[in-house]
Chains A and B, each alone.
Chain A
Amino acid sequence: MSQGLALAGRSEGATGRTIPAWWLIFKQEAVEMWAGGRVLRFLALYAVLMSVTAYLLATNNDLKLVTMKASVVVAVTSTITFGLFIGLVIGAESISGERERATLEPLLLTPSGHGQIVLGKFLAALSPWPAAFLLSVPYVVTLSHRDPVMWLALFWGAVLGSLLAIAFVGFGLLVSIWSDSSKISLFVCLLVYAGLLIPAQLPTEFLNSPGGVAVSAVDPLESASRLLTMVVDEGRPLSQAWVYIVAPTVMTAVIIGTLFFYSARRVRLTAE
């Protein structure tokens, strides 16, 4: 036994490649989320929602209630809206959940910088987004009847969705850093998520008014929807729709900047 204790000591001549802490944390978190079934459950629910949406769109398209292009836009918008939800929920739980499970302290006690811990968790929470997007491709292809517009829709869906996924995961993590309870961080995140969905429920007359345009330009989710409508459905050039990419970009930049340059350094055992 004593030999064992001695053997466990530091080996000065250790060779081999050391792996950055952020990658180790990302890998560990991702394995836990995917192999643990959490992400798969979310994706299953996501697939059900997408199937229902696609079915309704296809029916409406058959009844000529909605055009093919419009149904493609709605499908891509739904992909973004449902896909972001997964990242938001996982991000919202990532630090506060560790606090609740008393597993954060050992991580904070390692020499890994807090920025690396946050980066690893951020990437892990972001990992369901590409899978969600890939899952939506068959729906978009089917609804587009293989029209070339599907490529435009998928391209802008990937760009806007990825931008917003980064922002939403980052926002979830930000709230999580400043919360001791997962319930509270989830509640705050869902409140903000629901708030951002409100403009989509407003009457079309209002959305076409100057006030509505302003609201759409500020709300990143509505901005994305507007941009997709203008570029994919209405076939307008980006020069006419660029204003709607500002909100998602600014939101992402502000959240990521705040997360990594301010809050990550302030990750503590308890929220302050």
Chain B
Amino acid sequence: MNDVPDPRANGSTEILAAEDLRKTYGDRTALKGLTFSLNAGRVLGFLGPNGAGKTTSIRILTTILRPTSGRFTVDGISSDHPEAIRRRIGVLPEGLGFPKQMTAFGYLTYFTQLYGRPVGEARRVATVLLEDVGLQNRAHSSIGSFSHGMRQRLGIARALVNDPAVVFLDEPTLGLDPRGQRELLRLVQRIAKERNKGVVLCSHLLSEIEGVCDDVVIMNAGSVVARGSVAEVVGATRPELDHVVRIRVPVASIARTQELLEVFPGVEGDVRSEDSTGWLDVKLHAANGSGPDESRVRNDLLESLIRADVPVLGFDVGGGRLEDVFLRLTAEAIR
């Protein structure tokens, strides 16, 4: 393990690096070679369908599980030293439980002390973190009286008590209402940007991951199927998903829009619609190729709809979203 380079030695800001991590349970392989890295101040989205190996990966990286083979470093510390790594990571596990009788302040003070801080400093850290996550007014309320969103925020505060270099958040927005999700994701971004932490975010909410994450690792059946910055991953997959445009119109206008589109030059075949939502899938002729020609077709198509007084509520270029990439790359598992 001594040959694992210390990423900080050459001035790099790489704080998490995994190299060919594998995990097997008897005959079953849960993880087939996970390799990626994360720099300080960035948020990495960890995506994949159920059973893809996300939780196994997170548990290995947080030292809860030992890999069958492979290695990783956290803030320059080798995976040979799990106790030292635990001092440099913060984790919000999925479905975390809380002692309901404890107060939020007592809970954070307790965990801060478990990281070796004196009680006075632990209380100060607890006070500041409660303010950071917006729970300062409920500091002395018992956790049992907290809503799910408040508990999630408290869980994030607990993950920060040791001033970690890397924070792992496993499905932090699960079960939250839209406002709660937005607030929590904003908090995640602040942790990365203001505190210069690396954040690994596991989530199924692809649209929100796309808005928050800088980098992404997509897993399927234990393997990494894509990794890089969000733009890189989307860009690399996009040519295969091009030639599709999604247009949203009022449900009452679906039939008329379909008629217009099906006679539009450059549109291939029938225009499919989702009657309940008003989304129409429009496939463009591949013969138009990609690049400027196809952009022109898309622009003309939109212009013709506007001229025909069709109220366009949404216009998406196929393959332009992380969700499209995710669905394509994980299609096999879903099938």
**A residues engaging B (CB < 8 A)?**
1-2, 4-11, 14-19, 21, 24-25, 28, 32, 35-36, 101-103, 105-113, 268-269
Contacts and interface: CB of A to CB of B under 8 A. Distances in A.
A112 B114 contact: yes
Given A103-B97, A109-B62, A19 B113 contact: yes
Given A4-B131, A6-B195, A16 B97 contact: no
A102 B91 CA distance: 13
A82 to B, nearest CB: 26
A269 B97 CA distance: 13
Most buried by B among A6, A18, A32, A106: A106
Contacts of B315: none
B178 interface: no
Most buried by B among A18, A103, A111, A112: A111
A109 B128 contact: no
Contacts of A2: 190, 194
Interface in B109-128: 110-111, 113-121, 125, 128
Contacts of A1: 131-132, 190
A17 B96 CA distance: 30
A4 B115 contact: no
**What range describes how many residues of B lie at the interface?**
35 or more
10 contacts: A5-B190, A5-B195, A8-B129, A19-B119, A105-B91, A106-B158, A109-B89, A111-B84, A113-B83, A268-B64
A10 B128 contact: no
B128 A8 contact: yes
B269 interface: no
A110 B59 CA distance: 14
Interface of B: 59, 62-65, 83-84, 86-87, 89, 91, 93, 95-99, 101-102, 110-111, 113-121, 125, 128-129, 131-132, 158, 160, 162-163, 190-191, 194-195
Contacts of A19: 113, 118-119
A14 B111 contact: no
Contact of A111 (B87, B101, B129): B87
Contact of A8 (B84, B114, B125): B125
A28 B96 CA distance: 18
A119 B158 CA distance: 23
Contact of B113 (A18, A32, A107): A18
Contact of B98 (A17, A103, A108): A103
A186 to B, nearest CB: 19
